[in-house]
Amino acid sequence: MIPLYHEVITLPLTRLSTDFIVVGAGVSGLRAAIELVSHGRVLVIAKDSLRESSSEYAQGGIAAALSDDDEIELHEQDTLVAGDGLCNLEAVRTLVEEGPAAIEQLIEWGAAFDRQGSKLLFAREGAHSRNRVLHAGGDSTGHEIVRTLRHQAGQRPDITFQSFTSLIDLVQNGSNEVAGVLALDEHSGSTVFFEARGVLLATGGLGRVFENTTNPDVATGDGLACAWRAGAEIADIEFVQFHPTALYVPGAPRFLLSEALRGEGAYLRNASGERFMERYHPLKELAPRDVVARAITAEMQRLGTRHVFLDVTHFAPGFVQKRFPRIYETCLRYGIDLSSMQAPVSPAAHYAMGGIRTDLFGRTNLARLYAAGEAACTGVHGANRLASNSLLEGVVFGARAGSAMAELSPANSTAEPTQTNPAFPQIAEHELRSLTWRNCGIVRNRSDLSEACSMLKATPRRALPSPVRADFELRNMHQTAYLIAAAALARGESRGAHYRSDFPKKSPHFQKHSILNNSGSGLDAQIRFL
């Protein structure tokens, strides 16, 4: 399928073949690659270095019912409650039932989770009814899981890694099957057609679409936008989780201050020094993330401030340094000594519950295209993800997608990619991100969402003679921002992470999943609820 708004260009085009392509080197991509490798050659493509992914930065932990006082049914119930009536029950059961074995396998592979003596150490985070969250290095859980999976993958000679290679588009053959990907190799500056019997998109999140985000710069919705352009269905993309507590220091990145801090007893205080969460939810600081994020936003608006404070100064001496070494050192770098000072925090875009619509084995509506992790939507998170379920999702559903993809036979027809140069949106990135944050952020309404849709559809486009990575990223961010705005506008209710000030209540009419289809005409999306 040739992308919309294209002109033929003459950049060098290289053609390479393999059996399976995995786009993304985070938890879900690596786990899928390990599952695939016994069935053929696997190429893992990373847009940046192999160490740059949202998984790498995940602090909070990985949740599973492994402790003596926990049960799978309790984990399931907590996930369903957080999902606010929109979870796919079968997906949730798959996650919580397969989660314990998936973590035990990581331990067998060498993952060093924190322990007290010889026993695993379990912590509690918001909306969990039991202590079931495992951590590694205090607050470096994602890093440890990625390290473990990368080590496993690196021992297998049929897994090849290609870094600094940006996804441009999916390529389909004459049978409309996905036959590979078109990518920009930054090492050579050339365009490459990677051909394979199956493609897995494990490209992570989309947080950079928003002005304020905890995500790394690579999170530009690439897999989502490329899948959309090829005709894949997108589900529940209006549900974007805004983490309540990102560090707010001018000139500093919006570094995440883990929910585990509140799980250990941290307080939230407004500019007047008051603990305010009891006014918003009986669980106070341990309320679901969407509740806490809106509460912080309300307090900032009420008092005319740009942040609130996270207070851990009442913790025992030395505790925060030992339990949260990475967070402590990062805050110290920006002049905040958590042992004696309150940290200024405010919400930031953190996680997309929606994504490329898949079944429980990562299959999309396009033949030979799979997706897993944050880029995918199985419905497991519903309208709001339960804390520390994301790393678990990556491990469980990454493995399932790999196992299903491994069954693919070689394609019957070949693809001849047309070298194209899409028309790129003529909007500054900071303007796009500001628009998305302002109009599609924590609190939404019809007027703002309609304005966002109109402005994004009206954005001028033009072809570029020699597009670079930043141009392709901006195209994907523009596409993704529109999908979020359109889906949020169509959902006339408030549910989970999606809050409409003009529709502040849940509606039974919308206890359904939003499904977006490409109309084949520009940015227009066909939206239905199932």
Q: Which residues carry out catalysis?
A: 289
Cα end-to-end distance, the chain, whole Å: 27
Are 376 and 359 in contact by the 8 Å Cβ rule? The answer is no
Q: How far is CA 482 from CA 13, 136, 224, 384, 488, in A?
A: 30, 37, 12, 20, 10
- DSSP states of 426-478 as a string? -S-HHHHHHHHHHHSSSSB-HHHHHHHHHHHHT--EEE-SS--HHHHHHHHHH
**Alpha-carbon distances, residue 21 vs 165, 202, 232, 420 (angstroms):** 13, 10, 17, 21
3 state DSSP class of 186: coil
DSSP string, 35-67: HHGGGS-EEEE-SS-TT-SHHHH--S-EE-S-S
**Strand-pair category, 62-63 with 198-201:** unpaired
Using alpha carbons only, what angle is made at residue 412 by residues 408 and 413, rounded to the nearest 5 degrees? 125
* 103-128 residues labelled b (16+ CB within 10 A) or e (exposed): beebeeeebebbeeeeeeebbbbbbb
The Cα–Cα gap between 64 and 197 comes to: 34
Q: What angle do CA 293, 297, 299 make, to 5 degrees?
A: 120
Task: Tell me which H or E stretch contains 14.
Answer: strand 13-17
Beta bridge partners of 13: 191
The three-state (H, E, C) secondary structure of 312-350, written as one string: CCCCCCCHHHHHCHHHHHHHHHCCCCCCCCCEEEEEEEE
Q: Which two tokens stand for residue 205?
A: 């999140």
CB 483 within 8 A of CB 474: no
Is 363 within 8 Å of 477 (Cβ atoms)?
Answer: no
Q: Which amino acid is at 266?
A: A
